[in-house]
Amino acid sequence: MRLSLGIRGLLLAVNAFALLVPIAAIVLLRIFDDQLIRRTEAQLIGESVLIAEAWREAWLREQAIDPAHAPRWLPPEAADQRYFPIEPSLRLDQGVLPPTPDADPGGAFAVRDGPAWRAGRTMEPVLRRAVRMNLSSARVLDAQGCVVASSGEQLGACLGELAEVRDALAGRYAAVLRERISDEPTPGVESISRRGRVRVYTALPVLADGAVIGVVRMSRTAIDPAKALWFDRRRLLAVLFGCALLTAGLSLFLSRTLSRPLRAITRGARDLARGEGRLPVQLPGLAPEELREVSGALDQMIAQLSDRAEYISEFATTVSHELKTPITAIRGAAELLSQQWREMSAEERARFLANIEQDAERMERLVARLLHLARIQSAPEFAQEVALGPFLAGLAETYGANLHVTLANPGASLRIHPEHLLTALRNLLDNAFRHGAGKPVELDAFEHGGRAVFRVRDRGPGISEGNRERIFQRFFTTERDRGGTGLGLVIARAVATTRGGDLRFETSAEGTCFELVL
């Protein structure tokens, strides 16, 4: 498994998680609070339906109507329905109304009598007993909105101005939230009494033949979230423990995701410092992209340093071998001259001195070429725009009529170190003229695939089969006796490879073509 997320993405994800947890907790607590309110409302709806049906039957009996032949009691819109459930709908965002104002009991009736009052008297003992167990306050109101039965106070009070009662008198179920005011101290979470600051009020119309004959108004304090959580504390503690484990796991995951790759990179760097950095740094699958880039750069550096060390070792061995021959010749000639100077003739002395001078010049050329190769391969390349038209024209003037130059685009230019380009092309041209059997040499320059291509072709006998695999080896030359160093093609290829290009060739009996791609 490989993680493609970067360090910034990991930190953003962790911070987003840390930010979302309290936001989610607030949202869930609000949803939980709404659920508790609707749960209280559902309880009141169920109790209201039972009280309404009991009071309606008592009202029918007071009217001398047989309940078995009772008039239609469902609302008109539910006439054809088998079931007519009332769903809880209260939410905190609907707003909380002020507490119920005090009403003046008895003002609407001089004599508290009539079917509604008599039915209420039969219900009141039941309501007063029930409130001691369900803690729900119940009021039965007549068609004018006045209380005819109560589980507590307000008997005879007219509540028709209240919003929920007004809707119920119009034949619609209504429920509201009101502030709860209590002079008693807040009970503990373990108490049966509720601690909430919001009270749920429901108003259910009682119908007969489509007309409202009364209203059942119920109320109870909504369940407090703290009390509900106290009752579910074991499950809550299990959830909190799970969240703590999740947070700890996420922290451990993040720390391991960052620390394990860093430790692997550190080990690789230490191995490199001890000279043991040969193998690529192995990162775990879960590693940020930035650390993978660092690891890749370290692997590249290890490979480059290893290649450079091998190159230096091979280079030193080859150079010592190449320099050993002229140094040995110079030492031998110098010893002979020092020991037998008087016995030598003037011609012999001149010959030995000429050999010393020839070997010294070879060493000078060899050292100069090696320094040039080292600068090309090691030093940062200075680059500038080189206009190829005037540049190739200068080469044509240097080599004369035997060099045929063709430039596909006279206005073309190349960003390169001018000396490096000149060195590479002159090495190829010198090589072509030496092996071209005196025939003209062609230099074609054109652009291909976004790169500059220089093609040098001679008409010589071609490169022998045995030498084709060796022509790019350092110090390989077939003209050592004529001053060849075996570094010309190596330098030309180094110019190409340091720019991401290449030097390749094709050879046959009709000639050889070198292609320098920059």
pLDDT at position 73: 60
Check pLDDT > 90 for residue 205: yes
Query: 191 lies in a domain?
Result: yes
Query: 322 lies in a domain?
Result: no
pLDDT at position 139: 93
The CATH number covering residue 61 comes to 3.30.450.20
DSSP character string of 354-367: HHHHHHHHHHHHHH
Burial class (CB in 10 A: 0-12, 13-18, 19+), 137: buried
The residue with greater pLDDT, 45 or 222, is 45
User: Could you tell me how far CA 71 lies from the centroid of its own chain?
Assistant: 69
Query: 256 lies in a domain?
Result: no
Check pLDDT > 60 for residue 186: no
Contact 179, 197 (CB under 8 A): yes
Query: 122 lies in a domain?
Result: yes
The CATH number covering residue 454 comes to 3.30.565.10
- The residues with which 413 forms a beta bridge, in sequence order, are 387
Outline where 180-232 has alpha helix (H): 225-231
Contact 415, 385 (CB under 8 A): yes
* Residue among 456, 462, 452 at smallest CA distance from 444: 456
Q: How confident is the model at residue 356 (pLDDT cuts 50, 70, 90)?
A: confident
Query: 428 lies in a domain?
Result: yes
Looking at the 3D structure of the chain, how many domains does it have?
A: 2
pLDDT at position 185: 56
pLDDT at position 167: 93
Contact 150, 217 (CB under 8 A): no
pLDDT in tens, 379-432: 556 778 888 888 888 888 888 888 888 888 888 888 888 888 888 888 888 888
Q: Which of 231, 251, 285 is the last residue of a domain?
A: 231
User: Could you tell me how far CA 172 lies from the centroid of its own chain?
Assistant: 54
Query: 97 lies in a domain?
Result: yes
Check pLDDT > 60 for residue 2: no
Q: Region 212-235: what's the mean pLDDT?
A: 77
Q: What is the DSSP letter of 158?
A: B
Q: How confident is the model at residue 192 (pLDDT cuts 50, 70, 90)?
A: very low
Give the three-state DSSP class for 177: strand
pLDDT at position 110: 40
Contact 58, 122 (CB under 8 A): yes
pLDDT in tens, 255-295: 777 777 777 777 777 776 666 655 666 666 666 666 667 77
Query: For the chain, first and last CA: distance in Å?
Result: 40
The residue with greater pLDDT, 123 or 184, is 123
Q: Say what percent of the chain tops pLDDT 70.
A: 70
pLDDT in tens, 120-149: 998 889 999 988 888 889 999 999 999 999
Query: 409 lies in a domain?
Result: yes
Question: CA-CA-CA-CA torsion for 483, 489, 494, 496, nearest 10 degrees?
Answer: 140
Contact 339, 372 (CB under 8 A): no
Residue 209 lies in domain:
7-231
Q: Which of 204, 231, 258 is the last residue of a domain?
A: 231
pTM: 0.47
Q: Which of 231, 258, 282 is the last residue of a domain?
A: 231
Query: 32 lies in a domain?
Result: yes
